[in-house]
Structure 1
Amino acid sequence: MMAPKIGIRQLVEFVLRQGDLNEVKNSQNTALNGAKIHRRLQSSRGEDYDSEVYLKKTVTMNGSDYVISGRADGIQLNDDGALIEEIKTSDQAYDDLSDNTRTLYWGQVKVYGYLLLQEHPELDKVTLQLTYFQVSTEKVTKEQKVLRRAELDQFFKDLITEYEYWLTLRADLRKQRNASINDLPFPFPAFRPGQRELAAAVYKTVRLNKRLFVEAPTGTGKTISTLFPAVKALGEDLIERLFYLTAKQSTRHVAEEAIDLMKHDGLVIKSITLTAKDQIRFPEEQDLLPEENPFMIGYYDRLKPALKDLLTHENQITRPVIERYARKHTVDPFEFSLDASLFCDVIICDYNYLFDPLVYLQRFFSEGDDDNFFLVDEAHNLVSRARDMYSAAVSDQAIGSLLKLARPDKTQPSDDLQQALKKVRRSFTRISQSLLDDGVTEQVTPDPPEPLLRTLRTFNEFVTDWMTQQKPSPLLDAVRDYFFACLTFVKIGDLYDGSYQTRFVLDGHHLTVKELCLDPSDFLDGSLKLGAGAVLFSATLSPMAYYQRVLGGEANSLAYQLPSPFPPKHQAILVTQYVQTTYRERERNVDRIIQSLHALVTGKTGNYLVFFPSYGYLSQIKSAFEQTYPDIATTSQESVMNAAARQAFLDQFQADNPSTLVGFCVLGGLFSEGIDLRGDRLIGVAVVSVGLPGLNPETNLIRDYYDHQNGQGFAYAYQLPGMNNVLQAAGRLIRSSHDTGIILLLDQRFASQRYVDLFPSHWQYYQTIQSLPQLSATIANFWHQTKEESTN
């Protein structure tokens, strides 16, 4: 059995942190930028300097072994002795760092120094060097300390002694976990068709440290089929920590339910669900500065008792559990959840905790760790999410109102803030004037907007200091919002490569500058490499080569596609050849569409969903349908719906509805995926149009990029994302082996080879419909046959 690993940074921070929770100032630095600075400094060292040196030591406590390990930024061994360097980057001046921050920095260097002397018994001392790079000014500060072996031995001994309880706790939790997993059965009486094969493929992927893309149609039981084998791998110490990454809160609940299922079969495992900071922070914290917040004052002095209490009494650590213990011990719930996650085996969280360059979990992903493994649910959602994560926009629109708020008065002089804002406005004005001189209102360039970035870096530095001197006020809130937009823009500006375009848009008197990441695949690939491997899965990942390309797995991944576990003839796939929904033809086809929908929903009394590519189109058809068929009950998705409104919409779709209900929804929206209307709660789905995203300049840039890359620009930018939305919506229909129903595709383009080639295998019995009478007859025949089969 492999000894569990404890990261040096994790060890030092856990033991040596004390006092208040001082949230790190919002830095303009990014992980990528920090890595570039590290490489730059490392490359400037001498020939006898080795960078990124892996150091480790096995420590035995209470009969169990633990590996203390990490990578030293640099080591220099020569006749003059040994030097070990730790490089840190931040926006703050070195003199402004808190005493505790410096203690943590030096703590890491001391552990590296201790480990180096363990490997070199001929040495009695080592020079420790802390190199601090202030990103905003590029000022480098170096400090050195020479420590002898005895001093470092004592430091390490004290560190481990303090951590002994937590090491022992981790070992006990691990033994208990592995023992419970050893004989853990699959939590259902039998595997569904394809489920055993999927579980085996996931297990092999973990064992071989690979990356696997899986298309598992609705009904395969994707969540349990991926979690169960991954948990088995945990029990065999193939990995130490499992991240279950999702796009939506509803999917996180499904993962929690899967773990709960295994718990009832004897699984003892620590799982935690991470909730976004702005959602989990207590209401009374919202308007308080950290130095006034009772949940942050003395946080680290109360953290260890709070963790001990939580970990001793809870296994499934959900949001309500975190909140309960956070209140009990008066600790900030968000930070408490992050600290608790260090002791958990399964971490359920949003995509951004791994992939987002601005908010990723530094405690886990500051460097690679082969003890981590990733399960990425509903991976088709990651395509657009990743583009958003690596793109940013900033405008001059808010500057006018900020200047009015910042007018100096006797109570709050703001001359300096006004001057800083005016400098930003002048930078925007120069760009706007350049566009006007060229006679255009839009311009696109592959170059980063460097003059604007320079101005915003200076502005951000000023505001960072300015905010620390302010009391809560409307001005502070407004400036903070604009500062965050500028900060994000600057950080994304540091990431520019060949996949970026800058778009300048002059709309009236206001200018918006957008940094557009057209292809985030290299960034995603880099994030996935921070673990031993990954399984990316969804009900719709076709064509597989497209998803492997856009999600960073083209060169180093495996693919696996399962057939549907349900009989294909349980659903009729009907393609209307007589309906055209292109923009030019929409008006002339309204009557054909509503008559076709009427034929669908009068074929059998029940519940139906109809999906459209936009709210405008939805409204047009719904209005015409209601005017023509006022006796048929309808309901509609709204553009803004809270959780209660969403649930109220779904609650209308009951199995015992005495009359027909038609729900009008939007493709790619709230109800096109992640909802489960089993049995007679849904018996038909119609999709109006092939779901192409609306033509717009930014999607055209994506098209042009992939045209240059592989000649498939239209497919990558428009057709494939649209078809995925269609398949997701159609997937709402057949949710179990007893479900039956009709999928009606209202657009003649669906019958073209370009689209038929994208149909999943369980759509093999699709039928083309040439006329409205044929549609009515086909629907009647389907329900007649279904009734006969159910009575036999």
Structure 2
Amino acid sequence: MATRVGIRQLVEFVLRKGDLVESKDSQNTALAGARIHRKLQSGRSSDYESEVYLKKVVTMNGQDYVISGRADGIETKDDGLLIEEIKTSDQAFEEISDNTHDLYWGQVKVYGYLLLQDNPDFDEVTLELTYFQVTKEKITRTKEVFKRAELTKFFNDLIKEYEYWLTLRADMRRDRNDSIKELPFPFPEFRTGQHEMAGAVYKAISLQKRLFIEAPTGTGKTISTLFPAVKAMGEDKIERLFYLTAKQSTRHVAEEAIAMMAKDGLKLKSITLTAKDKIRFPEEQDVAPEDNPYMVGYYDRLKPALKDLLTHEELITKTVIEEYAHKHTVDPFEFSLDTSLFCDVIICDYNYLFDPLVYLQRFFTERNLENFFLIDEVHNLVSRSRDMYSATISNAAITPLLKKAKTIKTQPSEDLQKELKKVRRGFKRLSDSLEEEQLTEQMSPDPPESLLRVLRKFTDFITDWMAQQKPSDFLTSVQDFFFDCLTFVKIGNLYDDSYQTRIVIENRTVTVKQLCLDPSDFIDKSLNMGAGAILFSATLSPMSYYQNVLGGLDNSLAYQLPSPFPPKHQAILVTQYIRTTYRERENSESAIVASLYTLINAKKGNYLFFFPSYGYLQQIKEAFEAVHPGVKTTVQAPAMNNEERESFLDQFQKDPDETLVGFCVLGGIFSEGIDLRGDRLIGVAIVSVGLPGLSPENNLIKDYYDKENGKGFAYAYQLPGMNNVLQAAGRLIRSSHDTGIILLLDQRFASRRYTELFPPHWQYYQRIRTLDQLSATIDNFWNQTEDTNENKADS
């Protein structure tokens, strides 16, 4: 399979020079840009063809490369050829840097060369650059005629310059594929279900399919997806793999899996992308790009830095990027993105593919069947994607900005004040319309178009205004509000039937939210940027729900694995004598405390108790400690940092001298992604079915899915809550030697609505009707467990 090299990628890599200038945030999203392109293209002649794919195969170092791209428009007439390249930006054409201008023309000159290759009867081509300034809706056109010989020399010079990098990539790819051929599975044997899962992944990649996999805790999901994907890569079924995660901890697990394979001989370039604010050097903070030594002359130092890194490193982590960025004085974040173009595996957060505001444009502007996606803990993508495609704006920042602006006696400040007052009036019109109807809150399926119009004009103004300002605290405050407005405008460009607008007035603050109820179409389009995807998690039940909300209902396969551990290693106990609905919480408090104590009193060890909210957690914790002050407890606090998180987990030691109880929140940092093996955890109690709190926004989701499929309550409340329950319960059994008890404290768990959601390895769940029965059942479980362990020891 020939390696594909995009024309834009080729031109930018070879011709970029000088400083790294961070691109100004533009309203020109990919979707808006596509609309502008279509609008401009629609007025062309009948001889004009839009979006024409051009390519040429170039052979170097015994390897074929497809140099390809899509020209915005080609006009073919008997008397000549014309190629149009359309560029959109907020900047005025006159403000574009010389380097950017060269890149634009470099791209269209390559298209011109390829078009002449396909049309040998012509010796010249007219190249036209159409520049659309979004903020002013101003069009600037420039034309130039190029001869075949001139464009041939330009193309050959580009390829010659790029030859080293093409050869480097070819050599790396050959070494990679050779190392993969004999690569063994990095463990002595497959766990139960692991071989089957790996086979399903390999087959899905070979067939370019989208596959949802539920693989219970202990299956070894990371290596079961990465290993077959790497094998498929070695057979040229895919060229690049994206491993997408929601949490930093799972990114580390992916790194460890690749490191294990590297010990067995794998030679593969992997990189972990880190968020800009987490990898920027301290000396870069609050420094203008023109004063930042890591940005000034960045492109002049980039290629030596890349050569150094790529010839010495395989597993490129955050630490490695920082080391080479320091050595060559290049910005570490941008350096990581430029390095990723040469990597086989890219480990990164969901937003690099799915977020419409920050996705990786160098990879995901058009579909590339050489890319494949592995999406870990995909249950997290449901809420994350709703957040990515929603946006909130309020008028809270306007008055403080106006007060500060009035103290600055300059014309730019006066202009800013006028524009801020226009935005304030836009919010006032919304609040007046609600107050006329004596409302403090309003829901609507219509976009907030009147406010969007005001904010579009405001962001146009601020884009120009900020360019004239010097760094200051005031400028930072203006920028913060500007970015909020810009995000709101960009999401407004996506608004469709899956959205609702919510307007809330509270203490004269007007808050407007564009809420995406169903992001499935957006996720589907993102996943279509590659050949296929494996979407996997320990909890994806019911599978049809996740396929629906994650854009795979009609175009994906599903695969569910059994637990690799004996089901009887854990007892699933459902207390039918406890009600945890809001009205019953006071009445059930003593029964909950007694049941929790019964769980821990039977066997000394470490336990986790989970609650649906911090308020409920605190209520039961205080009641528990009042009755049992001698029990050692620890509690999850809101917004814990990494150090506090590790300190919390470090308390759960092997073979403890006394019982320890951790009070935690369902859906929080300790309900998934933690690994307390063996007797570091022997019991989990979950209080309530974990329903998300009743809220206007959840009710909007409920109403939406009631209309879509009649399952509104399940989609908005029950299934997200049950997923949190299953994730928390999954903290218990982490290896084949683990045993323990899961105590479900809510009679609703015993109803059919919930038992039909229980995974297969919960088949031996027991209904508990009294506290005495609970005590006897727990004692019996531990006695049987100890007898089993003694028999194993004797044998």
What's the TM-score once normalised by structure 2's chain length? 0.99
Whole-Å Cα distance in 1 between the matches of residues 491 and 366 of structure 2? Answer: 20
Residue 122 (structure 1) aligns with: 121
1:350-429 to 2 correspondences below 5 Å: 350-409=349-408, 414-429=413-428
Shift of 1:409: 3.5
Residue 443 (structure 2) aligns with: 444
- Post-superposition CA distance 1:373-398 (Å, at most 9, x none): 00000000000000000000000011
Shift of 1:400: 1.0
Residue 134 (structure 1) aligns with: 133
Percent identity over the alignment? 74
Contact 2:412 2:465 in 1 (8 A): no
- Post-superposition CA distance 1:332-389 (Å, at most 9, x none): 0000000000000000000000000000000001111111100000000000000000
Contact 2:179 2:265 in 1 (8 A): yes
Greater mean deviation of Cα atoms: 48-57 or 477-486: 48-57
Alignment-mate amino acid for residue 600 of structure 1 = L
Alignment-mate amino acid for residue 440 of structure 1 = L
Task: Say what the alpha-carbon RMSD is for the aligned residues.
Answer: 1.0
Greater mean deviation of Cα atoms: 399-408 or 434-443: 399-408
Whole-Å Cα distance in 1 between the matches of residues 712 and 408 of structure 2? Answer: 56
Q: Which runs of 5 or more residues in structure 2 are unaligned?
A: none
Does the C-alpha gap of structure 1 residues 423 and 410 become closer, same or farther in structure 2, counting only changes over 3 Å? Answer: closer
Residue 521 (structure 1) aligns with: 520
Greater mean deviation of Cα atoms: 781-790 or 123-132: 123-132
Alignment-mate amino acid for residue 550 of structure 1 = V
1:648-659 to 2 correspondences below 5 Å: 648-659=647-658
| Number of equivalenced pairs | 791
- Post-superposition CA distance 1:65-109 (Å, at most 9, x none): 211111111222121321112111111122221111111111111
Residue 166 (structure 1) aligns with: 165
Residue 50 (structure 2) aligns with: 51
Whole-Å Cα distance in 2 between the matches of residues 463 and 284 of structure 1? Answer: 27
Contact 1:59 1:67 in 2 (8 A): yes
Whole-Å Cα distance in 1 between the matches of residues 569 and 288 of structure 2? Answer: 59
Shift of 1:408: 3.8
Residue 646 (structure 1) aligns with: 645
Answering whether residue 230 of structure 2 is matched by residue 231 of structure 1, we say yes
Whole-Å Cα distance in 2 between the matches of residues 63 and 630 of structure 1? Answer: 75
Greater mean deviation of Cα atoms: 26-35 or 333-342: 26-35
- Post-superposition CA distance 1:31-53 (Å, at most 9, x none): 11112222222233222222222
Answering whether residue 140 of structure 2 is matched by residue 151 of structure 1, we say no
Residue 538 (structure 2) aligns with: 539
Whole-Å Cα distance in 2 between the matches of residues 238 and 453 of structure 1? Answer: 45
Residue 305 (structure 1) aligns with: 304
Whole-Å Cα distance in 1 between the matches of residues 411 and 115 of structure 2? Answer: 55
- Post-superposition CA distance 1:543-587 (Å, at most 9, x none): 000000000001100000000000000000000000000000010
Answering whether residue 568 of structure 2 is matched by residue 569 of structure 1, we say yes
Whole-Å Cα distance in 2 between the matches of residues 44 and 498 of structure 1? Answer: 29
Whole-Å Cα distance in 1 between the matches of residues 213 and 81 of structure 2? Answer: 49
Answering whether residue 343 of structure 2 is matched by residue 327 of structure 1, we say no
Shift of 1:169: 0.5
Residue 559 (structure 1) aligns with: 558
Whole-Å Cα distance in 2 between the matches of residues 768 and 42 of structure 1? Answer: 67
Q: Please give the secondary structure, in 1, of the residue aligned with 2:140.
A: strand
1:174-323 to 2 correspondences below 5 Å: 174-323=173-322
Contact 1:370 1:531 in 2 (8 A): yes
Residue 754 (structure 2) aligns with: 755
1:673-712 to 2 correspondences below 5 Å: 673-712=672-711
Greater mean deviation of Cα atoms: 382-391 or 403-412: 403-412
Q: Please give the secondary structure, in 2, of the residue aligned with 1:605.
A: coil
Whole-Å Cα distance in 1 between the matches of residues 155 and 412 of structure 2? Answer: 51
Alignment-mate amino acid for residue 550 of structure 2 = L
Greater mean deviation of Cα atoms: 709-718 or 141-150: 141-150
- Post-superposition CA distance 1:640-668 (Å, at most 9, x none): 21100000000000012111000000000
Shift of 1:412: 8.9
Greater mean deviation of Cα atoms: 116-125 or 13-22: 116-125
Contact 1:568 1:763 in 2 (8 A): yes
Contact 1:408 1:415 in 2 (8 A): no
Shift of 1:62: 2.2
Shift of 1:162: 0.6
Alignment-mate amino acid for residue 604 of structure 1 = K
Answering whether residue 502 of structure 2 is matched by residue 497 of structure 1, we say no
Alignment-mate amino acid for residue 158 of structure 1 = D
Dislocated runs of 4+, deviation >6 Å: none
1:607-622 to 2 correspondences below 5 Å: 607-622=606-621
Whole-Å Cα distance in 1 between the matches of residues 87 and 198 of structure 2? Answer: 42
Q: Please give the secondary structure, in 1, of the residue aligned with 2:579.
A: coil
Residue 68 (structure 1) aligns with: 67
- Post-superposition CA distance 1:604-662 (Å, at most 9, x none): 10000000000000000000000000111000000121100000000000012111000
Whole-Å Cα distance in 1 between the matches of residues 118 and 14 of structure 2? Answer: 24
Q: Please give the secondary structure, in 1, of the residue aligned with 2:51.
A: strand
What's the TM-score once normalised by structure 1's chain length? 0.99
Shift of 1:411: 7.8
Q: Please give the secondary structure, in 1, of the residue aligned with 2:406.
A: coil
Answering whether residue 9 of structure 2 is matched by residue 10 of structure 1, we say yes
Q: Please give the secondary structure, in 2, of the residue aligned with 1:275.
A: coil
Alignment-mate amino acid for residue 16 of structure 1 = L
Q: Please give the secondary structure, in 1, of the residue aligned with 2:311.
A: helix
Q: Please give the secondary structure, in 1, of the residue aligned with 2:402.
A: helix
Alignment-mate amino acid for residue 617 of structure 1 = Y
- Post-superposition CA distance 1:132-178 (Å, at most 9, x none): 22222222222211111101100001100111110110001001100
Q: Which runs of 5 or more residues in structure 1 are unaligned?
A: none
Whole-Å Cα distance in 2 between the matches of residues 136 and 470 of structure 1? Answer: 19
Shift of 1:199: 0.4
Residue 720 (structure 2) aligns with: 721
Contact 1:407 1:413 in 2 (8 A): no
Shift of 1:123: 1.4
